[in-house]
Amino acid sequence: MSAPDLAPAPAGRALLLENIHADARTLLSEAGWEVETTSGALDETELLERLPGVSLLGIRSQTQVTAKVLDNAPDLRAVGAFCIGTNQIDLFAAATAGVAVFNAPYSNTRSVVELALAEIIALTRRLTVKDQAMHAGVWDKSAAGSHEVRGRRLGIIGYGNIGSQLSVVAEALGMSVFFYDRTDKLALGNARRCGSLHEVLEIADVVTLHVDGRSSNSGFFGEEEFARMRPGSIFLNLSRGFVVDHVALRKHIESGHIAGAAIDVFPTEPKGSGHAFESELRGLPNVILTPHVGGSTEEAQEDIGRFVAAKLRDYALHGATTLSVNLPALGTEATPGTVRLAHLHRNVPGVLAAINSVLAEAGVNIESQQLATRGDLGYVVTDIAAHASDEVGRRLRELPETVRVRQLG
């Protein structure tokens, strides 16, 4: 368990790894942090050496923040994953240590949508085939098999952040949008919700997958689904590699049943740039393969840098946990002119009463108070008129359910 502190801390030190966008450094520096950066990831040993004195840690996908790291970093308050996924962080250990974790789930939505649209147009127009022929010295001015996207039917599977934004932009190009989502989603614009996956497959000229990475989606699009697609249709996957059976896709492309495909994500992906890439889909005509770059644009990186850094700052300064992936969500700033006590605890009955009893016995007047819970954790922020004494801090720390208590402001 972490050592809680009640003394209001100065902003302190932040460590940003893996070439996080410079805007994150600027934002934290302007808020008073001393920021160190590295271009690469750190392994567990290196991380343990660098973390003493660091209150905010920023990583991307290559740094593993393990239970061992979290259990041995008493100064750490929050970890920012400057990316979408948080699998590289032991979220349970972080919550148990009272360390908030934030990510950027929406910053690259538009980048994925634009790549999908570019690929839909390129494949519908058979641009890759024309391009390859030209590079091979062949002039083929035929229109056969090339279509406008206007008026064609786009089938979106998974109508979340990305699927629904793609729906809006595709309609602006004149496409008719049909979608299927396992949950009840509001149709945007003139898009039509379908009752089943198969209904979309039988209607759409272009099928694009934007489902999430839940384990039940493993292999959910295979031989049966490709066979259900319309002859001459186009297939895209920019969601997760493990959801599609690539052997079945290859078969349907070779037979001509599927006229083209764009794949950005693979069941097994190389560890990094420069490593060999193996796939059943290499060497096929009218198939665009990209190295998981759907969300990789400079705009998305900049947005991620600012978004996650602001979450870290707001948690450290105000205790705000909105969009934290592991702590109960409380978003507001402290009432003006007050000091905030942020108390993270195990979620069992009676903790709020115990906190308030400590404050009442010390004669501390509560200006406002909010409680949120999430699974095994509870989080109370209490705004009080003046700084609480060390004795109040000691008594709050000693409550058996306390995970971490901080005084902010």
Ligand X SMILES: NC(=O)c1ccc[n+]([C@@H]2O[C@H](COP(=O)([O-])OP(=O)(O)OC[C@H]3O[C@@H](n4cnc5c(N)ncnc54)[C@H](O)[C@@H]3O)[C@@H](O)[C@H]2O)c1
Identify which of residues 104 and 388 has a Cβ nearer to ligand X in the complex.
Answer: 104
The CB-of-98 to ligand X minimum distance in angstroms stands at: 27
Identify which of residues 156 and 344 has a Cβ nearer to ligand X in the complex.
Answer: 156
Identify which of residues 99 and 157 has a Cβ nearer to ligand X in the complex.
Answer: 157
- Contact between 94 and 59 under an 8 Å Cβ cutoff? The reply is no
The CB-of-206 to ligand X minimum distance in angstroms stands at: 17
Mark residue 119 as left, alpha or beta (left: phi above 0; alpha: psi -120 to 50; beta: remaining). alpha
The CB-of-112 to ligand X minimum distance in angstroms stands at: 5
The CB-of-110 to ligand X minimum distance in angstroms stands at: 10
The answer to whether residue 292 is catalytic is yes
Euclidean distance between CA atoms 137 and 64, whole angstroms: 48
The CB-of-257 to ligand X minimum distance in angstroms stands at: 22
Euclidean distance between CA atoms 377 and 324, whole angstroms: 13
Residue ranges in contact with ligand X by CB under 6 A: 84, 108, 112, 157-163, 180-183, 210-213, 217, 220, 238-240, 264-265, 292, 294-295
List of residues 6+ apart from 133 with CB closer than 8 A: 139, 140
Q: Which residue is nearest to ligand X (CB)?
A: 160
The answer to whether residue 269 is catalytic is yes
E-state strands within 203-330: 206-209, 233-237, 258-263, 287-289
Identify which of residues 94 and 156 has a Cβ nearer to ligand X in the complex.
Answer: 156
The answer to whether residue 44 is catalytic is no
Which tokens belong to 81? 């994953």
Active-site pick, 148, 254, 269, 391: 269
Identify which of residues 20 and 244 has a Cβ nearer to ligand X in the complex.
Answer: 244
Q: In the β-sheet with 34-37, what is the strand arrangement from edge to edge?
A: 34-37, 13-16, 54-59, 78-81, 100-102
Euclidean distance between CA atoms 299 and 16, whole angstroms: 19
Give the residue numbers annotated as catalytic, written as ranges.
240, 269, 292
